[in-house]
Structure 1
Amino acid sequence: MKSLKMLVLFFSVASMALAQETIKMQVKESKVHCTGVGPMECLQVKTGKEKEWTYFYENIEGFDFEPGYRYKLKVEKSKREGNLPADASAYTYKLKKVVSKKKVKSTTVKNSYILNKKMVLSKINGKKVDNASVYFTLNDDKMSGKSGCNRFSASYKLNGDKLEVTPGMGTLMACDEESMRLEAEFLKMLESKNFDIETAGSVVKFKKANSKEVVMEFNIPTENDIWSFIDGKKWKLIMLENVGQDYGKSFIQFDAKNKKVNGNSGCNNFFGTYSTTEKTITFKGLGSTRMACLDQETSEIESKILKYLSDATVNFDVADQTLNFYNNDRLIMMFGLYTE
């Protein structure tokens, strides 16, 4: 019996060792825009003896990242147990030790403030563009965004007023004729490769290299621009926890002037207040009516919605015609403009 207990103990310890390990990780001094389940910001890391920086889509529990510093860490990597959601990682990460933290010299150049900013096409070849379907972000890794119908990425170099673009890859979806025509024109323009950049406030002009001819113009949306678009509209829930379906009456609506929010969670109306920063919404004092949901699935959906909105803070962004909520960089809810 004693031998059997020792054998069980041995296998238990061995199993725990296989499910958990300590890894060495370097963390770069800046985050980058990336796409997991939805748009997010990722750390850039090297693990072990890796030579190239890679995107890190998870959180490191206990690690407080500060931009401008390069880190060496010891991290405890543990395998999750049980049935995992489709969008969940198979591992969790927990800080064990900060081995070093070093300030990195700034390499900022003229126009570097446009880095990590969403730029929305407003004019191309002198023609106004109204539908905000073409946009991209420049980070210290690549240019990435949407070209009208499809997502695209490209390499670039920004040196003062000079921007060099090397066209890359894109998805191959088909859209309506107008969107496809705009996409073709935009991608054709990127093939020019070299541009002179002129900035004035939130407006960014792309000129032909060594020329005064403006071929494209972009706007960097301000917080006021974003909220003037969100304000007063009904946003219908179209995705919850990575499941897209018809969620019936569920919607959310914001009163930006009075900082009030209301909506419907499936069975009941809800209401409350909120505050914002550039990237977050904090919901406060949420209340709701108390009608019973006769359908069990609708009741479960309502519970999830109210859980995410009750005295909680979510990250958010607006992409095309959707309003997206994130929890720890994981897309939890997506809303589309309400049409009746």
Structure 2
Amino acid sequence: MKRIITKNFSPKLILTILMLLGLSVYANAADVIKLIVKEDRASCTGVAPQTCFQVKYKNSKGWELFYSNISGFNYKPGYRYVILVTRTKRANVPADASIYTYKLKKVLKKQKMPVKTGEWDFVVKHKWKLIQMNGVALEQSPAYVVFDKEKGRVNGFAGCNSFFGAYEKGDGKLTFKQMGSTLRACVDEDRNRLESEFLKLISDKTLKYDVAEQTLNFYENHRLVLMFGMAPLDKK
């Protein structure tokens, strides 16, 4: 039987190798952290405009933006959560990505929060320009929406045509009803596609909504489908 020759490996070298191996394992080790997740999201900018969770860590003094996704976390606006999350450091970090991945371990608490008073009064005082649709950021989008609180009416511009209709609000949801639009021909293919997709999303639909900083966001099946940015309301 051949003997393994180790005389050329000093104890110091062996210790260094073991330490490096230990550091490599530690770099990819997972730890468990506790997060408090606020009942509404906030607008933020990553690769594109989006909404982010607002969270508090153990030593947080205030709400902090959380840019990553949490795998397995079925978040519902209007509820405040206390959760345990497994945080794992990535071995190879993609460009514009977090150095960590996050996975839900346990929901410790889920609490329904009272609806903010005056939130809708804030919405109706502004025009809301479409800045994101179905996860795609829109630059220089002509589409916008305006709400009339007293009449329960909604109107705006979809890309080529003006649209109008009624709405009903309740329990964090908005129902668009009796929607219609003008019938101007749309020769611009991009605007025509924008208008078609936008009107399809709001025609006779009930969507959850929230207001985060200066954005108005609509959700379908807990998925963000429309994001509007605040703009001054035109004076009549």
Counterpart among 31, 35, 38 of residue 28 in structure 1: 35
Kept in 1, the 8 Å contact 2:215–2:227? The answer is: no
Does 2:227 correspond to 1:332?
Answer: yes
Kept in 2, the 8 Å contact 1:42–1:57? The answer is: no
The amino acid across from 1:325 in the alignment is: N
TM-score between both structures, scaled by the size of structure 2: 0.51
Counterpart among 73, 89, 98 of residue 63 in structure 1: 73
Q: Which residue does 1:7 correspond to in 2? A: none
Q: Which residue does 1:272 correspond to in 2? A: 165
**CA distance in structure 2 between the aligned counterparts of 1:318 and 1:284, rounded to whole angstroms:** 24
**CA distance in structure 2 between the aligned counterparts of 1:285 and 1:291, rounded to whole angstroms:** 19
The amino acid across from 1:313 in the alignment is: L
Decide whether aligned partners of structure 1 residues 251 and 24 sit closer, same or farther in structure 2, where only a CA change above 3 A counts.
Answer: same
Kept in 1, the 8 Å contact 2:167–2:175? The answer is: yes
Which is higher, the Rg of structure 1 or of structure 2?
2
Q: Which residue does 1:297 correspond to in 2? A: 190
**CA distance in structure 2 between the aligned counterparts of 1:244 and 1:338, rounded to whole angstroms:** 21
**Shift, 1:297, TM fit:** 2.3
Counterpart among 136, 140, 162 of residue 245 in structure 1: 140
The amino acid across from 2:66 in the alignment is: F
Gaps in structure 1 of 5+ consecutive residues:
1-20, 46-50, 105-115, 118-220
The amino acid across from 1:338 in the alignment is: D
Counterpart among 171, 195, 207 of residue 313 in structure 1: 207
What pairs up with 1:146-225 in 2 under 5 angstroms?
A: 222-223=117-118
Q: Deviations over 1:56-109 (max 9, x none)?
A: 22443542356363424589x9x9x9xx9xxx9689x785x63x44459xxxxx
Kept in 1, the 8 Å contact 2:42–2:212? The answer is: no
**CA distance in structure 2 between the aligned counterparts of 1:287 and 1:89, rounded to whole angstroms:** 42
Q: Deviations over 1:183-241 (max 9, x none)?
A: xxxxxxxxxxxxxxxxxxxxxxxxxxxxxxxxxxxxxx832xx444544x672637445
Decide whether aligned partners of structure 1 residues 22 and 63 sit closer, same or farther in structure 2, where only a CA change above 3 A counts.
Answer: farther
- Equivalent pairs counted in the alignment come to 186
**CA distance in structure 1 between the aligned counterparts of 2:86 and 2:165, rounded to whole angstroms:** 42
Kept in 1, the 8 Å contact 2:217–2:227? The answer is: yes
**CA distance in structure 1 between the aligned counterparts of 2:122 and 2:109, rounded to whole angstroms:** 39
The amino acid across from 2:152 in the alignment is: K
Gaps in structure 2 of 5+ consecutive residues:
1-27
Decide whether aligned partners of structure 1 residues 331 and 253 sit closer, same or farther in structure 2, where only a CA change above 3 A counts.
Answer: closer
Q: Which residue does 1:170 correspond to in 2? A: none
Q: Which residue does 2:16 correspond to in 1? A: none
Q: What fraction of aligned residue pairs are identical, expressed as a percent?
A: 23
DSSP-derived class of the 1:254 partner: strand
**CA distance in structure 1 between the aligned counterparts of 2:145 and 2:156, rounded to whole angstroms:** 4
Q: Which residue does 2:12 correspond to in 1? A: none
Q: Deviations over 1:250-291 (max 9, x none)?
A: 442323234332222122232333333575544345443444
TM-score between both structures, scaled by the size of structure 1: 0.39
Q: CA RMSD in A?
A: 5.0
The amino acid across from 2:67 in the alignment is: Y
Decide whether aligned partners of structure 1 residues 89 and 330 sit closer, same or farther in structure 2, where only a CA change above 3 A counts.
Answer: farther
Q: Which residue does 2:9 correspond to in 1? A: none
Decide whether aligned partners of structure 1 residues 60 and 41 sit closer, same or farther in structure 2, where only a CA change above 3 A counts.
Answer: closer
The amino acid across from 1:63 in the alignment is: F
